């Protein structure tokens, strides 16, 4: 039986949300969130590496193929829990280490997320080499 990413997120939230709330009460919100972000980021980076090792094709193609999996349904789930900030911490902020794990040549640029109140997430992936070339041309 295969479990969707949305179902995995719901299961994880049942454990992570109360645990993080307890850490926030004990250590302060900022410190607890920083620790959680770093711990999850390390794990998600490894997930990105595992995805990179599966199949063929560049990281950009793997991201494009996986984007339908990461839909607004995850965001709506955390909004329904009245915990959008946890959705941002557990899901949105992990997009960057996932991208790094997928390919050290890719860069994710995002200026807004649903979890932060926007009506959509604006994912932009580009090759770091292209960014450097563009910067060199503008100098």
Helix boundaries (H) for the chain: 5-27, 29-53, 59-66, 72-80, 84-90, 95-102, 128-138
Helix axes 5-27, 29-53, angle to 10 degrees: 150
Question: So what's the pLDDT on residue 73?
Answer: 59
pLDDT on residue 125: 86
Per-residue pLDDT of the chain (139 residues; tens, 9 = 90+): 777 766 877 888 889 999 999 999 999 999 999 999 999 999 989 988 888 887 667 666 766 666 655 555 566 778 787 888 888 898 889 899 988 988 888 899 999 988 888 988 898 888 887 666 666 666 6
Q: What is the pLDDT of residue 54?
A: 78
> Are residues 107 and 126 in contact, defined by beta-carbon separation less than 8 angstroms?
yes
Domain containing 53 equals 5-138
Domain count of the fold of the chain: 1
Measured between alpha carbons, how far is 24 from 105 in angstroms, rounded to an integer? Answer: 35
**What is the reported pLDDT for 18?**
92
CB contact set of 92 (below 8 Å; sequence gap of 6+): 113, 115, 116, 121
pLDDT in the model for residue 8: 79
Q: Which residue has the tokens 């094709």?
A: 57
């Amino acid at each position: 039986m295969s479990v969707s990413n949305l179902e995995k997120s719901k299961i994880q939230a049942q454990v992570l949300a109360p645990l993080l709330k307890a850490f926030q009460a004990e250590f302060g919100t900022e410190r607890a969130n920083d620790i959680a972000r770093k711990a999850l980021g390390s794990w998600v980076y490894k997930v990105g590496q595992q995805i990179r090792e599966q199949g063929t094709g560049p990281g950009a193609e793997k991201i494009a193929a996986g984007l339908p999996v990461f839909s607004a349904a995850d965001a709506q789930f955390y909004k329904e829990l009245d915990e959008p900030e946890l959705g941002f911490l557990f899901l949105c902020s992990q997009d960057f280490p996932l991208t790094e794990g997928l390919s050290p040549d890719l860069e994710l640029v995002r200026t807004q997320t649903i979890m932060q109140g926007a009506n959509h997430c604006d994912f932009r992936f580009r090759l770091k080499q292209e960014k450097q070339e563009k910067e060199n041309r503008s100098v």
